[in-house]
Amino acid sequence: MPQEELSDLQRQVLELKRQRNALILAHNYQRYEVQQIADFVGDSLQLARKSAEVSGFDMIVFAGVKFMAEMTAILAEGTPVYIPSREALCPLAGWIGPAKVRAAKERHPGAPVVVYVNTTAATKAECDAICTSSNAVEVVESLGAETVLFGPDKNLAEYVRRQTGVKVIDIEPLGHCYVHQQFKLEHIERMRALHPDAIVIAHPECPPEVQGAADIIGSTGKMVKIVAEPPEKKFIIATEVGLVEQLQHAHPDKVILPAYEGAVCRQMKKTTLEGILRVLRDLPPENLVTVPDEVKDRVREVINAMNALHSAAESAVVAAGK
Ligand code: SF4
């Protein structure tokens, strides 16, 4: 995060963080004042990978939604993980549960199941592989299957279908993220007419027609990378507005515009500085993130497989000199 003036509340959080020997992880959609005091900010894949490397801290505060905090609790086992708001639940994760996955498997025996990380730990335990929006295509391709069951996001499923040619069957044909579903083709067309020199980047959770109108489709992690690269100076971003604010602060010399200003994730915004201060001060047991023992090992396996696939892909890129 760029060095900017911090508020008294932010300083209090940082002081308590130091006293508690705590690590604060934050998602790209968090409030900017929360991102500023975090040790690490990223997309869900980056946060999962970071969680697997954590050592030397007495606690972790996870500024994000619950399914992400669960992954951290599994990967950073031994380090207590606190979530500042227990109401920070991703509605997309509510579209499919273990029973729906089992029913899909019965309808399509033999087809591997890939679920998006935006699912509960119990749902992940039912699947063969998990993916994020950064690596969904690679994960599905790595299975080498003709047919794959996929969920819960229908727009990400469509993106994978188009990119891979694999028969991707929706576990829940209506599953979507209400934040990204709000983006309309008109938003992109209006912004392009106003800013014809801007590069349009859309998240793969956006509807297919919005993805089709974008110059680049990518996760928030990819957006951060692209915006940081020269020479382009102007971007229209179709994802949650928290990322747009982060990018504008990080690149004051560039113009970064939201494709639609109403794209706000209410659940991500439930995490506040006050909530972070409270968990650091009181260590409330009800904010401690726990995952049932019976699913932990299986979920750790699928998350580690996803992280390993990503590392292998990175090494291949380096080896190829890209
Ligand atoms: S932006 Fe969408 S997918 Fe992400 S946490 Fe909010 S509701 Fe869930």
Closest ligand 1 atom number to CA of residue 267: 6
Structure tokens given for 23: 């690590």
How does pLDDT run across 79-138, given as a tens digit for each residue?
Answer: 999 999 999 999 999 999 999 999 999 999 999 999 999 999 999 999 999 999 999 999
pLDDT at 45 over 90: no
Structure tokens at 18: 């130091």
Nearest CA to ligand 1 atom 5: 90
Ligand 1: which of 29, 115, 153 to mutate, judged by most atoms within 8 Å of the beta carbon?
29
Superfamily of domain 92-177: NadA-like (3.40.50.10800)
* pLDDT surpasses 70 at 312: no
Choosing from 27, 90, 132, 219 the residue with most ligand 1 atoms within 8 A of its CB, the one to mutate for a pocket test is: 90
Give the pLDDT of residue 304.
Answer: 87
- What are the extents of the domains in the chain? 8-89+268-290, 92-177, 183-258
Q: Is the CB of 156 under 6 A from ligand 1?
A: no
Residue 314 has pLDDT above 80, yes or no: no
- Domain 8-89+268-290 sits in CATH 2.30.29.30: no
Question: How much is the pTM?
Answer: 0.92
Q: Counting atoms of ligand 1 from 1, which one is nearest the CA of 177?
A: 2
| Rounded Cα gap, residues 53 and 214, in angstroms | 35
CA distances (Å), 184 to each of 113, 204, 220, 226, 260, in order?
A: 30, 13, 19, 23, 9
Burial bucket for residue 56 (CB in 10 Å: 0-12, 13-18, 19+): exposed
3-state secondary structure of 8: helix
Q: How far is the CA of 266 from the centre of ligand 1 (A)?
A: 9
Is there a common fold for 8-89+268-290 and 92-177?
yes
Domain range 183-258, its CATH number among 3.30.450.40, 3.40.50.10800, 3.40.50.800, 2.40.30.10? 3.40.50.10800
Q: Is 41 in the pocket of ligand 1 (CB under 6 A)?
A: no
The mean predicted confidence, pLDDT, of the chain is 93
Separation between Cα atoms, residue 110 and residue 118, nearest integer Å: 23
Q: Is the shortest distance between the CB of 91 and ligand 1 below 6 Å?
A: yes
Ligand 1: does its nearest atom lie under 6 Å from the Cβ of 94?
no
Rounded to an integer, the average pLDDT of 191-211 is 98
